[in-house]
């Protein structure tokens, strides 16, 4: 497969992120999407302000926050490119900015060419205690694994083994020609041995078999080792985003 020269737009990546890491429920507020996460993380628990909310900005913020509070969920908004006015309005209300992230993307063929470095790659289709233990070690608990289970997009859970021991686990899913890599965790004993690169390549090989052209992911700016790895493999930044959360310390 030839490399794709065109990079996905930020809008396309946010749509793929939403489709491949599914909230438990979505409520439309005009073109805004209010997501219920059930403790599955910020990505599934935030408002995605993807367009015109159909009402003025202040009213939209209030309405979205009311929906989230009704779920017992702390009001949270995802701020991406083009959301400067919303970001400023939330800051003026005392909403805290946190978890600055970047979206990275690369042609699937480029990442797949690295290969899985001879590691055994297992497609996990049934509950597996070793996988759950590996993910729990990396903070991927039951609520985040429930996100994977309910995601309707084409998807796969991959477990990599080295010397007959679990070495890494990941979740990958696709929307159209874009595959998104989620929840990659490498066992501590296997780090700095090429396992992270092999796991990323395994995700790309799966995506390549599905006909996807782009492999993308979101990573926090604080995770310098992961960002360095992805750049070495050939990923490039497409856009950044962060979250704003309401100033209460606990949910009602």
| 152 and 133 share one domain | yes
Secondary structure of residue 175 in the 3-state scheme: strand
Distance (Å, rounded) from C-alpha 84 to C-alpha 122?
43
Residues 137 and 24 in one domain: no
Does residue 3 form part of some domain? no
The residue segments making up the domain with residue 65 are 10-100+241-245
pLDDT in tens, the chain (252 residues): 344 457 899 999 999 999 999 999 999 999 999 999 999 999 999 999 999 999 999 999 999 999 999 999 999 999 999 999 999 999 999 999 999 999 999 999 999 999 998 899 999 999 999 999 999 999 999 999 999 999 999 999 999 999 889 999 999 999 999 999 999 999 999 998 999 999 999 999 999 999 999 999 999 999 999 999 999 999 999 999 999 999 985 444
Looking up residue 187, the CATH number of its domain turns out to be 3.40.630.30
Query: How many distinct helices (H) and strands (E) make up the chain?
Result: 9, 11
**Any residues with CB less than 8 A from the CB of 54 and at least 6 apart, and which?**
29, 30, 31, 60
Between CA 121 and CA 127 the distance in angstroms is: 16
83 and 206 belong to one structural domain: no
Nearest residue to 165 (alpha-carbon basis) of 123, 200, 122: 122
Residues 219 and 169 placed together within one structural domain of the fold: yes
The count of domains in the chain is 2
The answer on 59 and 119 residing in a single domain is no
**Strand, coil or helix: 72:** coil
């Amino acid at each position: 497969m030839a490399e794709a020269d065109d990079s996905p737009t930020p809008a396309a990546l946010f749509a793929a992120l939403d489709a491949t890491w599914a909230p438990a429920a979505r409520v439309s507020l005009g073109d805004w999407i209010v997501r219920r996460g059930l403790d599955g993380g910020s990505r599934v628990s935030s408002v995605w302000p993807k367009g015109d909310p159909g009402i003025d900005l202040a009213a939209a913020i209030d309405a979205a926050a009311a929906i989230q509070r009704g779920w017992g969920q702390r009001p949270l908004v995802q701020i991406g490119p083009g959301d400067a006015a919303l970001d400023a309005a939330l800051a003026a209300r005392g909403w805290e900015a946190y978890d600055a992230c970047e979206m990275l993307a690369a042609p699937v063929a480029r990442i797949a060419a690295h290969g899985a470095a001879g590691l055994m790659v297992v497609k996990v289709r049934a509950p597996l205690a070793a996988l759950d233990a590996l993910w729990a070690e990396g903070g991927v608990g039951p609520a985040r694994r429930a996100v994977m289970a309910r995601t309707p997009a084409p998807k796969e859970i991959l477990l990599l083994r080295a010397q007959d021991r679990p070495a890494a686990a990941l979740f990958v899913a696709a929307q159209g020609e874009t595959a998104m890599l989620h929840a990659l965790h490498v066992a501590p004993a296997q780090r700095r041995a090429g396992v992270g690169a092999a796991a990323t390549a395994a995700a790309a090989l799966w995506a390549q078999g599905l006909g996807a052209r782009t492999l993308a992911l979101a990573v926090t700016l604080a995770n310098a080792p992961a960002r360095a790895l992805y750049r070495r493999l050939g990923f490039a930044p497409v856009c950044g985003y962060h979250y704003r959360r309401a100033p209460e310390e606990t949910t009602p």
